[in-house]
């Protein structure tokens, strides 16, 4: 409680009456784009339940189609990495709804990367020191994990409703060189591996490039990796 105002109740014998009002806290979301804030559309309504039960979900993101799993299901992550193996062009990422959740999972992100993340309007992947809650399967030899903020409204709502990051890989199988920028470019083995496919944006060309990737180097400079 906090005192809000004082009132004198008598002119001759003033009595100070202190009124108390409850102190409210407000949770400010740090992904302010207005298009992010709406319910899951009907064309993807089964995605959340599939993730909660350990399934794999194929879905469009801001620039590519990706196969995803819940971070709370280690077996699902193992399946994901077998279908979409880690390579120089396809590494697993954690997708977060906002900077607040990102910092809770990876608290050692350098402030300069946070600044870059705040002002960058295109898909941006950061390589950052992994926090203690990040599964070992997602951490590279440098102790880093790839992270990004959701820039697609559907991915944003999934992460919000899960209250955790989404584990994703490009929807590309072993040896695949073509970027899955549209639904028609996804190989059949990846399509079969998905327990649920989101039926939105399937006729769109999402983009032409992977997300820009950066890390904070040991020399104190930001390194652009692609």
- Identify any residues that bridge with 134 across adjacent strands, giving them in sequence order: none
Report H helices in the chain.
47-52, 74-83, 99-105, 111-119, 153-162, 188-193
- Domain covering 33-224 assigned CATH 3.90.870.10 in the classification: yes
pLDDT tens across 152-162, in order?
A: 888 898 999 99
pLDDT grade, residue 68 (50/70/90)? very high
How many CB atoms are located within 10 Å of the residue 56 CB?
25
Neighbours of 96 (CB within 10 A): 26
pLDDT for 223 beyond 80: no
Whether the CB-CB separation of 123 and 63 falls below 8 Å is answered with: yes
DSSP 158: H
pLDDT bracket for residue 208 (50, 70, 90): low
- Look up residue 102 and give its two tokens: 């990102």
For the question of whether the overall pTM of this predicted structure is more than 0.85, the answer is no
- Residue extents of the structural domains in the chain: 33-224
Full 3-state SS string of 161-199: HHCCCEEEEECCCCCCCCCCCCHHHCCHHHHHHCCEECC
């Amino acid at each position: 409680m906090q005192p809000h105002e004082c009132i004198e109740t008598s002119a001759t014998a003033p009595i100070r009456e202190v009124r108390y009002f409850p102190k409210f806290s407000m949770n400010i979301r740090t992904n302010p784009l207005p298009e992010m804030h709406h319910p899951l559309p009907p064309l993807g309504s089964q995605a959340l339940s599939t993730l909660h039960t350990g399934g794999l979900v194929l879905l469009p993101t801001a620039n590519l189609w990706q196969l995803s799993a819940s971070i709370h299901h280690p077996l699902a992550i193992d399946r994901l990495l077998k279908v979409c193996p880690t390579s120089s062009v396809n590494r697993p990422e954690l997708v977060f709804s906002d900077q607040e959740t990102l910092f809770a999972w990876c608290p050692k992100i350098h402030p300069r990367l946070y600044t870059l993340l705040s002002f960058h309007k295109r898909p941006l992947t950061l390589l950052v020191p992994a926090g203690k809650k990040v599964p070992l399967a997602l951490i590279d030899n440098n102790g880093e994990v790839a992270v990004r903020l959701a820039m697609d409204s559907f991915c944003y709502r999934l992460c919000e409703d899960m209250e955790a990051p989404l584990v994703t890989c490009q929807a590309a199988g072993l040896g695949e060189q073509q970027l899955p920028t549209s639904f028609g470019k996804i190989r059949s083995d990846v399509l079969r591996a998905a327990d649920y496919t989101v039926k939105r944006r399937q006729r769109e060309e999402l983009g032409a490039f992977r997300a820009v990737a950066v890390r904070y180097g040991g020399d104190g400079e930001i390194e652009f990796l692609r």
